[in-house]
Chain A
Amino acid sequence: MSDSKSVMVIESEPWLGDHYQRQLESQGFSVVRASHAYAAIDLVDENPPSAIVMSLLLDGPGALNLLHELQSYTDTADIPVIVCSSMADLDIDELRPYGVRRIINSTMMHPSDIVATVRSVLL
């Protein structure tokens, strides 16, 4: 199955970002990368992605600042966000108001989970 939708990967750990990008591109998604919130905002403004995959631990302003910023504008508020995190105590109900649609536990995830989860939010 091939998808032409674009996914933004926001991850400060470059090798992990590379890994997510490989998985998504291998299934036909186009991927844009950002390593911190400022870069992500610039890229979203230039070309809003179909979905965002992001870590909660980012260089510079934190992930919640970024999520809040995305929620502040009508053209970005509807972009589904998937959080990949090793933080065990994350509650989707607490993050849903920030536009987070799924949480992936990065300590347990299989590489293919990222593609499956992106597809699930784009349905």
Chain B
Amino acid sequence: MRDKLDITMNAEGNRNIRGSVGHLFDGSVLSVAAAGELTSPLVLMRQLGLAVGADNISDEERKLLSEQVTLTSERALRLASSLNMTAVTQQALPLEPVNPLSVCRDVIHELTPMFSAYGREITLQSRARVPLTVANRNVLQRILLAFGDNALFYGSKKHPIQMAITGRGDRVRIGVRDYGPAVPIDMWSQLEGRVSRRALAPLSSRPQASGVGLITAQRLAEKMDSIVGIVRHRDGATFYVDLNVSGQMSLL
């Protein structure tokens, strides 16, 4: 594990994040930060749970509230599960040829109920045929789910969140584009600083995205030798993961 986060700017001006700050991102520190991140959905679930039990609501409202409790708990569980995997997985993860299109479809299928409940939409843009990539399917799903959860509150009905698969030579990029407050240019540095101070505050202008999910995604990507990065836009951001194309099929 590296001692320093290596943030490089590529030819397109995007920021790739490699490595991690081992002593900062150890399990206990991240757990403390995660506790803060998980407080928000737990507060919401508690309030919704109390509201479900109230006498003065209609059956229709009760059904809606129950659905919100379920979806909020699923969002929290996704984060908790990824954090657990990050904490317990010390070694590199087993890799295999993975069809990114199939993974993206699964992720969108999982996220769509939550997005719909918030009046948001998430779409997939891709060519019909995409090369196989070298990845761990489960981890790749978690990374994209983290990007999706991060983007949830920054889309609008006018601008759906876009998940896009693009080929780049021997790499495939899967990006999640949102439309919302711009992220600071030194976002990753801010995140690591906040985690290290055990004072994780929301990412600038993005209260629903304190960054634990993104840090988790970065750590998981590192375990399968892929790169997580961000493209800043005036009206939002694209979080992406770059994956190596699998050469296995070329051997046949």
Give A contacts to B, CB under 8 Å.
Answer: 12-16, 19, 22, 26, 55, 57-61, 86, 106-107, 109-111
Q: B180 on the interface (CB 8 Å rule)?
A: yes
Chain B residue at minimum C-beta to C-beta distance from A11: B207
Complex Cα distance, B48 from A20, in Å, reads 10
Interface centre among B40, B43, B51 (most CB of A within 10 A): B43
Complex Cα distance, B68 from A59, in Å, reads 21
Complex Cα distance, B58 from A26, in Å, reads 13
Q: Which of B32-78 contact A (CB under 8 A)?
A: 39-40, 42-44, 46-48, 50-51, 54, 56-57, 68, 72
Cβ-defined contact, B118 with A14, below 8 A:
yes
Cβ-defined contact, A111 with B43, below 8 A:
no
Q: Chain A residues with Cβ under 8 A from B56's Cβ? A: 26
Q: Chain A residues with Cβ under 8 A from B51's Cβ? A: 19, 22, 111
Q: Which of B229-249 contact A (CB under 8 A)?
A: none
Count residues of B near A (Cβ-Cβ below 8 Å): 24
- Distance in Å from the Cβ of B60 to the closest Cβ of chain A? 13
Pairs A–B under 8 Å by Cβ, sample size 15: A12-B208, A13-B207, A15-B48, A16-B44, A16-B47, A19-B47, A19-B51, A57-B202, A57-B207, A59-B206, A59-B207, A60-B205, A86-B43, A107-B43, A109-B47
Cβ-defined contact, B48 with A19, below 8 A:
yes
Complex Cα distance, B181 from A111, in Å, reads 31
Q: Chain A residues with Cβ under 8 A from B202's Cβ? A: 57
Q: Chain A residues with Cβ under 8 A from B153's Cβ? A: 12, 59
Cβ-defined contact, B208 with A110, below 8 A:
no
Complex Cα distance, B57 from A107, in Å, reads 22
Complex Cα distance, B46 from A97, in Å, reads 31
Cβ-defined contact, A15 with B44, below 8 A:
yes
Does more than half of chain A's interface fall in helix, strand or loop, or is it mixed? loop
Cβ-defined contact, A15 with B39, below 8 A:
no
Complex Cα distance, B48 from A19, in Å, reads 7
Does more than half of chain B's interface fall in helix, strand or loop, or is it mixed? helix
Cβ-defined contact, B207 with A58, below 8 A:
yes
Option from B43, B46, B118, B205 in Cβ contact (under 8 Å) with A59:
B205
Cβ-defined contact, B40 with A86, below 8 A:
yes
Interface centre among A15, A22, A26 (most CB of B within 10 A): A15
Chain A residue at minimum C-beta to C-beta distance from B202: A57
Complex Cα distance, B43 from A111, in Å, reads 12
Nearest 3 Cβ contacts at the A-B interface: A57-B207, A86-B39, A106-B43
Cβ-defined contact, B40 with A13, below 8 A:
yes
Option from A16, A26, A111 in Cβ contact (under 8 Å) with B50:
A111
Mask, B179-208, CB within 8 Å of A = 1, is 011000000000000000000001001111
Cβ-defined contact, A15 with B68, below 8 A:
yes
Q: Chain B residues with Cβ under 8 A from A13's Cβ? A: 40, 44, 207-208
Q: Chain B residues with Cβ under 8 A from A19's Cβ? A: 47-48, 51
- Distance in Å from the Cβ of A1 to the closest Cβ of chain B? 14
Complex Cα distance, B72 from A58, in Å, reads 19
